[in-house]
């Protein structure tokens, strides 16, 4: 099964954040394949970014994964409520990662829905807010700190493919999209870094 190679994750973090849009995030859970199309990302770069957990190369037990070679999952717990999935980027020793902020389900939708909402009906509101946030995405894919450090290149539990066809899935209905960018969300504490245009998302065109 085709997947992104190590070299993809070793590129510049901002470029990786843009390049990940439209890619397929795959989670194997108890033998079932769950797949999500990535639609929103944010870049974080420790050497220059006050919003990054490892700003100025600050290495702690929590941030140790960020210093690994690109192509590992960095998952942390925030606000005592949510997990956030990041892909470590750049060479080993350079703490940087891309936060996966949102996605659209491609496979295993019933399981993803159950993980998100339990037995509650999928109302129009829940459909609209299915996976449109990093905590929602992790909940829908059953990702937590136990998956922190997974190798996205060699592992089978979590990885990324170029397209649904790589998984033997049909492509979504084609429509025009453009990549938009803007400041990241929830980083007002980060000084000048709060204005870095390092959030990227796909916007459908009419």
Using the predicted structure, report yes or no on whether residue 149 has a pLDDT greater than 80. yes
Assigned token pair, 179:
């990549």
CA distance 42 to 57: 19
Distances, alpha carbon 117 to alpha carbons 33, 80, 136, 146, 154, in Å: 19, 19, 10, 21, 31
Work out the percent of the chain whose per-residue pLDDT is above 70: 99
Lowest mean pLDDT among 125-129, 148-152, 176-180: 125-129
Contacts of residues 167-170 at CB distance under 8 Å and 24 or more positions apart, as own/partner, are: 167/1, 167/24, 167/26, 167/33, 167/35, 167/106, 167/107, 169/35, 169/106, 169/107
Contact of 123 with 117, CB cutoff 8 Å: no
CA distance 74 to 59: 14
Instruction: Compute φ and ψ for 184, nearest 5 degrees.
Output: -75, 165
The sign of the CA dihedral 51, 52, 56, 58 is positive
pLDDT computed for residue 90 by the predictor: 98
CA distance 64 to 108: 32
CA distance 109 to 105: 6
Q: What is the pLDDT of residues 81-140, one digit of tens each?
A: 899 999 999 999 999 999 999 999 999 999 999 999 998 888 888 888 899 999 999 999
Assigned token pair, 189:
């504490």
CA distance 33 to 151: 17
Instruction: Compute φ and ψ for 97, nearest 5 degrees.
Output: -165, 165
pLDDT computed for residue 130 by the predictor: 93
- Terminal-to-terminal C-alpha distance of the chain: 34
Q: What is the pLDDT of residues 22-65, one digit of tens each?
A: 999 999 999 999 999 999 999 999 999 999 999 999 999 999 99
């Amino acid at each position: 099964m085709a997947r992104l190679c190590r070299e993809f994750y070793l590129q510049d973090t901002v470029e990786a954040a843009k390049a990940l849009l439209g890619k397929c995030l795959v989670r194997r859970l108890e033998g079932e394949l769950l797949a999500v199309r990535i639609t929103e990302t944010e870049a974080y770069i420790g050497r220059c970014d006050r919003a990054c957990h490892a700003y100025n190369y600050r290495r702690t037990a929590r941030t140790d994964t960020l210093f690994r070679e690109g192509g590992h999952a960095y998952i942390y717990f925030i606000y005592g409520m949510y997990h956030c999935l990041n892909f470590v980027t750049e060479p080993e020793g350079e703490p940087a990662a891309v936060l996966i902020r949102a996605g659209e389900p491609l496979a295993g939708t019933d399981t993803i829905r159950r993980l998100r909402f339990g037995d509650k009906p999928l109302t129009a509101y829940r459909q609209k807010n299915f996976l449109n946030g990093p905590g929602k995405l992790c909940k829908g894919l059953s990702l937590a700190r136990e998956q922190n450090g997974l190798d996205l290149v060699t592992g089978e539990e979590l990885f990324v493919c170029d397209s649904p066809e790589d998984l033997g899935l049909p492509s979504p209905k084609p429509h025009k999209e453009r990549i938009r960018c803007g400041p990241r969300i929830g980083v007002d504490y980060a000084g000048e870094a709060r204005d870095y245009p390092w959030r990227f998302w796909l916007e459908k065109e009419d």
